[in-house]
Amino acid sequence: MPAESPAAEAPTVKSPAAGSPRRTVAAFDFDGTLTRRDTLLPFLVQLCGPSRVAWALAREAPVLASVALGRGDRDAGKARLLARVLAGRPIAAVQAVVDSYAADVTARRLRPDTVTRLRWHVRNGHDVVVVSASPELYVAPIVRRLGVTTVLATGLEVDAADRLTGRLLGANVRGPEKERRLASTWAVSRSPSMRTATAPATANCSPWPTSGCRCAASSYPIAPERAGTPVAPVMGLPNAA
């Protein structure tokens, strides 16, 4: 993990035209970037028990195998699995598990290097957002413990009786949906491919040149964060599940 130095100062991302400082938004993926591994299945096991999750995986094995081979609908496969294990669960009981799971992930399952980068952004007053296909139900309380209050993650539907229906609330926040949510939230200037900004110049936005954290000098600079993937220019979030 890069050593933090109190003297380290971030380069300011400036407007090429006016030279005035611009707002910086650092977008972090969650699973495998802030965390060491996928978080959804461990959460489902903790909430529902290993037997129930194993049963659901077995029932959906043909669909999930097709997804793994690149021939199935990944979003539909996820929705079917969640419906089998979550439908009918009281949200109050789920919340108790969420609190325990969030504490465990924060204590043992985060990547120290990426957390250090995230905290650097927070400390420097940048707008930090976590974008994830994982359920907002547990992503939000985990990243709140890191000082992040903006989360764009997959919602889970709750019925009038305060029970999970097992259905997603809106789209699965994966791939292009991540980029759409970011663009919608900050009205980022965009090209059809969502890969360029009004001003394509980029600058390192952390004191560690090899961190892979990049900002773009655009109307609202975005610093996409994805472990092992240097992703400049703007909105270059990989299409992770």
- Check whether 217 has a pLDDT greater than 50: no
In a domain, 82, yes or no: no
- Check whether 12 has a pLDDT greater than 70: no
In a domain, 68, yes or no: no
Put simply, whether the predicted model's pTM sits higher than 0.85 gets the answer no
Range of the domain at 130: 25-37+110-225
In a domain, 152, yes or no: yes
Give percent above pLDDT 70 in the chain: 67
In a domain, 88, yes or no: no
| pLDDT tier for residue 67 given thresholds of 50, 70 and 90 | confident
The pLDDT of 190-209, averaged and rounded, is: 33
| pLDDT tier for residue 7 given thresholds of 50, 70 and 90 | very low
In a domain, 80, yes or no: no
Nearest CA-CA partner of 231 in 214, 216, 218:
214
> How crowded is residue 138: how many other Cβ atoms within 10 Å of its Cβ?
25
pLDDT per residue as tens digits for the range 110-165: 999 999 999 999 998 888 999 999 999 999 999 999 999 999 999 999 999 999 99
Q: Between these two residues, 98 and 186, which has the higher pLDDT value?
A: 98
- Check whether 230 has a pLDDT greater than 80: no
Give percent above pLDDT 90 in the chain: 50
In a domain, 237, yes or no: no
pLDDT per residue as tens digits for the range 16-39: 344 445 667 888 999 999 999 999
CATH number at residue 165: 3.40.50.1000
In a domain, 214, yes or no: yes
Question: For the stretch 194-219, what's the b/e string if a residue is b when 16 or more beta carbons lie within 10 angstroms of its beta carbon?
Answer: bebbbbeebbbbbbbeebbbbbbbbb
The pLDDT, as a whole number, for residue 1 is 45
In a domain, 72, yes or no: no
Q: Alpha carbon of 213 to those of 26, 136, 155, 185, 224: distances in Å?
A: 8, 24, 27, 20, 7
The pLDDT, as a whole number, for residue 186 is 65
What's the rounded Cα separation, in Å, for the pair 110 and 33?
8
Give the number of domains in the chain.
1
